Chains A and B, each alone.
Chain A
Amino acid sequence: MSVTAHSQERSVADPEERTERRGPRPVVRRLGIAVALLALAAVVLLSIAAGAQDIPLRTVWEVLRHPDGSRDAVIVHDYRIPRTVLGALVGIALGLSGALMQALTRNPLADPGILGVSLGASTGVVVAIAFCGVSAVSGYVWFAFAGAVIASAAVYAIGSTGGRAATPDRLVLAGAAITAVLFAFNTAVLMVDPRAFDEFRFWNVGSLAGRYLDVLLPVAPFIIAGGIIALALARPLNALALGDQLGTALGVRIRRTRVLGAIAIMLLCGAATAAAGPITFVGLAVPHIARLIVGPDQRWVLAYSLLLAPILLLGSDVLGRVLGAPGELQVGIVTAFVGAPVFIALCRRRRPAAL
């Protein structure tokens, strides 16, 4: 039953794992940050340069510096730059919230999809389309965000009934239960309302297309606030990883850390899903990849997740535009097909890093 006991016991018993847990030397970690920053810059440029409209690199560079009101300049400034910024923000939010969730629940499987956040957002969108007649992505944002916050609050509240802390397996079970209820509700509504279903199915794949400043501006403050809370929690999370009792002994206020962490997850994940639709896999895979690179220190895991997730997301978005030309493959589909094999390969090569 215990979701994590198995891996934890093993990680204590296995000396090979213990050496692995120490992680690489600090120099390597810092060098990795530099490499990741370069990669991120490259993907951002690619995302601005690539698209359905073929604009030469030189022109892109020119209109970037001197927006001259030409058609190319409008495309770059009004479409590609907002889309890129949104992609980067959504990626950061997914990566950080995934790392935070996995650390808080001490469950390597925790992921926005599992803890009910994504389906909460989906339910918000279903309600918006079917009952409130909202039909623009910028109109969904608030509904999706409200849905995500309510659903994750419900999961957290159920997980902490009986006045006890919301432990890992409690959260996962509560999340699975709430997810099932919401999914069933969504399906029932969509089955009797084909028009709503027709709209919802396109939101449901997860995409950055057609989302401009009107989507970016409402979600950005939430992602930034959530990100700051997440980064501030890095140190207490490290203590928490040792278990509740040891954590308390080390002077960490467990309850406060959990509540703050839950708030950060709701903000990050709710805003990301509201903006781009459910993008699976980034929140699950990126923290694993980060841990495989830097070991279990949460400060480094969070830092690497913050950088790797937007690389994965923007890279996938560019890839979807290139592969799908003249149309595009939605980013949610590409992240799954790019992320999953990498993730599986990492799982096979080493034991999945225990938390």
Chain B
Amino acid sequence: MSARPGHPPRTRSVGPAPTPAATPAGYAPLRTRGERLALRIHLRTAAACTAMALGLAGMSVLALTVGDFPLTPGEVAATLIGRGSPGHDFIVYTLRMPRLLTALFVGAALAVSGAILQRLSGNPLGSPDIIGFTNGAATGALVVIVLIGGSMLQVAAGALVGGVAAAVLIYLLAFTRGAGGRFILVGIGIAAMALAANSYLITRASLQDAMAAQAWLVGSLNAAGTEQAAAVGLALAVLLPVAVSHGRALSLLSMGDDAAKGLGVGAERSRLVLIAVSVVLAAIATAATGPILFVALAAPQLARRLTRSPGPGLVAAALMGALLLLVSDIAVQRLFTGAALPVGTATGLIGGLYLVGLLITEWRRGRG
């Protein structure tokens, strides 16, 4: 979970010597005898992550049971252990499970991508939505949809190429020296160009192509299948551990390059790795479902406020992203049964309204 590995006394760089009494408030120590292995658990983070995981489990059951053919939880359980009827097998394994898994994986991938970028830039706006990765991916996809008229697979490939190209361009233009404000500014420049190109492509298209492109632009799980779930799941399985293992570097880099170097982090290399992780996660998620709105921006912010953790909070962000997307997908399927709305409309509405509510209550209480 979100426990951070503590360090033996001699390498610990900040804070007092870890006598048992020195554990900071809000943390619980977890040590083996003689401190061969020591974990410091942020209690609130642990509680929040547990709650989110439980919520995810509950929502997953809901996602598998409700629908045009309602199943009982018992029937779902029977199907999952291989004792379902062929009809139930079809509903669970072919229709609902791929969509559920895609929602979970894409939500987590977008949230981790956003959490990394927000920490690196020290700015809540430093999310892939704002700085052009997703706009670039969308340009790639729109070129395929509008100009070539390609298949879904080609659209995904176009998105991947567009997203990575935008990211490489931003990196080359922004990181030739230092980071910070310039990174976001360059990203916004690239995003503006990509967005203009996208709007233009939409005016050039036939109404039918334009509608398809617009649906893709908001991000939809309507076409999610096994391939999408597998691709994003694989990316997440490989890249999330890489990101978490760079969590300490991420915390230090967000204090500035000099501080990070002073504390022994190879700033340039760590940043390159973290950015690469963030870009690939965002690009693959976008290729699978379209640029689902607001998850990358909101999930890390929501998770941070929920956990109030000083750490990088990647795991909490991942859980929050998965939860946000899953709840949104259930909402668009169940509340607007006829319209087949893209899930991005719900993530925008739910995430946005929730963020509004959260900001208001927090500011009422005089925080922030």
Contacts and interface: CB of A to CB of B under 8 A. Distances in A.
B278 interface: no
21 contacts: A1-B304, A2-B122, A6-B181, A173-B355, A174-B359, A176-B355, A177-B355, A180-B349, A185-B348, A187-B214, A188-B341, A188-B345, A191-B345, A197-B207, A198-B207, A205-B196, A280-B196, A332-B199, A343-B185, A347-B182, A347-B185
A192 B339 contact: yes
Given A158-B356, A192-B339, A337 B125 contact: no
A151 B336 CA distance: 26
B349 A185 contact: yes
A190 B345 CA distance: 11
Contacts of A198: 207, 210
A257 interface: no
B124 to A, nearest CB: 6
Interface in B334-355: 336, 339, 341-342, 344-349, 351-353, 355
A347 B189 contact: yes
A247 interface: no
A58 interface: no
B196 A333 contact: yes
A181 interface: yes
A65 interface: no
A114 to B, nearest CB: 7
Given A7-B181, A184-B344, 19 more contacts: A158-B356, A158-B360, A161-B359, A169-B124, A179-B352, A180-B351, A181-B353, A190-B214, A191-B211, A194-B207, A197-B210, A201-B202, A201-B214, A205-B203, A284-B192, A343-B185, A343-B189, A344-B173, A347-B189
A355 to B, nearest CB: 11
Interface stretch (B54-62, B150-158, B290-298): B290-298
A339 interface: yes
A202 interface: yes
Contacts of A329: 200
Contacts of A336: 192-193, 195-197
Interface string A338-355: 011101100110011000
B196 A191 contact: no
A352 B297 contact: no
B91 interface: no
Interface in A300-355: 329-330, 332-333, 335-337, 339-341, 343-344, 347-348, 351-352
A187 B176 contact: no
Given A184-B347, A192-B339, A177 B356 contact: yes
A343 B202 CA distance: 25
Interface in B308-367: 336, 339, 341-342, 344-349, 351-353, 355-356, 359-360, 363-366
A340 B203 contact: no
Interface residues of B, number: 60
Contact of B210 (A161, A201, A340, A344): A201
Nearest to A174: B359
A196 B211 CA distance: 11
Interface string B248-274: 000000001000000000000000000
B293 A205 contact: no
Given A184-B348, A337-B193, A158 B199 contact: no
Contacts of A79: none
Contact of A339 (B192, B214, B339, B344): B192
Interface of B: 122-125, 173-174, 176, 180-182, 184-186, 188-190, 192-193, 195-197, 199-200, 202-203, 207, 210-211, 214-215, 218, 256, 293-294, 297-298, 301, 304, 336, 339, 341-342, 344-349, 351-353, 355-356, 359-360, 363-366, 368
B189 A180 contact: no
Interface in A163-195: 164, 169-170, 172-174, 176-181, 183-185, 187-188, 190-192, 194
Contacts of B184: 109
A109 B188 contact: yes
Contacts of B190: 340, 344
A238 interface: no
Interface string A205-228: 110000000000000000000000
Given A161-B363, A170-B363, A180-B293, A280 B192 contact: yes
Given A177-B352, A180-B351, A187-B218, A172 B186 contact: no
A80 B173 CA distance: 39
Contacts of B366: 162, 164
Nearest to B211: A194
Contact of A162 (B185, B197, B363): B363
A351 B176 CA distance: 12
A204 interface: yes
Contacts of A281: 192
| The 3 residue pairs across chains A and B that have the minimum distance between CB atoms | A184-B348, A336-B196, A180-B352
A50 B84 CA distance: 72
B185 A109 contact: yes
Contacts of A202: 203
A293 interface: no
A180 B125 contact: no
Given A3-B124, A3-B125, A170-B359, A191 B339 contact: yes
B356 A178 contact: yes
A64 to B, nearest CB: 33
A120 interface: no
A165 to B, nearest CB: 11
Contact of B348 (A172, A181, A330, A352): A181
A321 to B, nearest CB: 15
B24 to A, nearest CB: 20
